[in-house]
């Protein structure tokens, strides 16, 4: 008989506080807070102040209002998804203004949005770069940072002080194969 393994519980407890949006047909968007479980002391501050993943675009205005009411900044990294949940646009800056513009321009293509309000603004560019490079084949936009070939991106897209390893082409005359 195989021994049963205990499932590890996540490091936080989900506390749902309020309903922010209710479409009456399909989706309800709730807000809340993740609380640290007992016995898990704080060692570092969280990377994100707020997150929302694959929320319906109809809830954009309500989510923005809830963040403002909580006095949480509305700048950060955002993603616009199509009906299958595939990322089609990734950016950073004014989350809700930029997402509203994208939805207006690509009204039929974009159905969901995700956002990440980063606690240290200095890391927004790195998170945006990582997201773009990891899903670049599906993106419709973001041509500057998108990499669909084996070419590398610009290492300077990351913050100063970061240790890096970079693949480079060998310079000079190519050696003949023997």
Q: What is the DSSP string of 19-59?
A: EEEE-SSS-EEEEEEEEEPTT----S--SEEEEEEEEEGGG
The pLDDT tens digits of the residues spanning 126-162 come to 899 889 888 877 777 555 554 445 555 565 666 565 5
Q: How far apart are CA 130 and CA 125, in angstroms?
A: 9
Q: How far apart are CA 9 and CA 174, in angstroms?
A: 55
End-to-end CA distance of the chain: 58
Low-confidence ranges of the chain (pLDDT < 70): 1-11, 39-42, 141-178
Indicate the pTM of the whole model: 0.76
134 domain-assigned: yes
2 domain-assigned: no
Q: What is the pLDDT of residue 46?
A: 81
102 domain-assigned: yes
171 domain-assigned: no
89 domain-assigned: yes
DSSP one-letter code for 19: E
39 domain-assigned: no
38 domain-assigned: no
130 domain-assigned: yes
The pLDDT tens digits of the residues spanning 49-60 come to 899 999 999 999
DSSP one-letter code for 104: H
Q: 139 lies in which domain range?
A: 14-31+46-157
Looking at the structure of the chain, the number of domains it has is: 1
């Amino acid at each position: 008989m195989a021994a049963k393994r205990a499932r590890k519980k996540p490091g936080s407890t989900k506390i749902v506080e309020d309903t922010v949006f209710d479409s009456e047909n399909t989706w309800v968007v709730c807000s809340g807070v993740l609380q640290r479980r007992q016995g898990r002391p704080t060692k570092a501050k969280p990377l994100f102040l707020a997150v929302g993943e694959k929320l319906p675009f109809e809830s954009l205005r309500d989510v923005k209002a809830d963040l403002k009411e909580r006095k949480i900044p509305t700048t950060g990294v955002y993603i616009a998804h199509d009906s299958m949940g595939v990322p089609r646009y990734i950016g950073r800056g004014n989350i809700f203004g930029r997402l509203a513009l994208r939805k207006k321009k690509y009204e039929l293509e974009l159905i969901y949005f995700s956002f990440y309000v980063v606690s240290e603004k200095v890391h927004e560019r790195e998170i945006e770069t990582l997201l773009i490079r990891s899903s670049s084949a599906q993106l419709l936009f973001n041509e500057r940072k998108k990499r669909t070939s084996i070419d590398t991106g610009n290492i300077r897209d990351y913050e100063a002080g970061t240790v890096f390893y970079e693949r480079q082409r060998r310079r000079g005359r190519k050696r003949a194969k023997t």
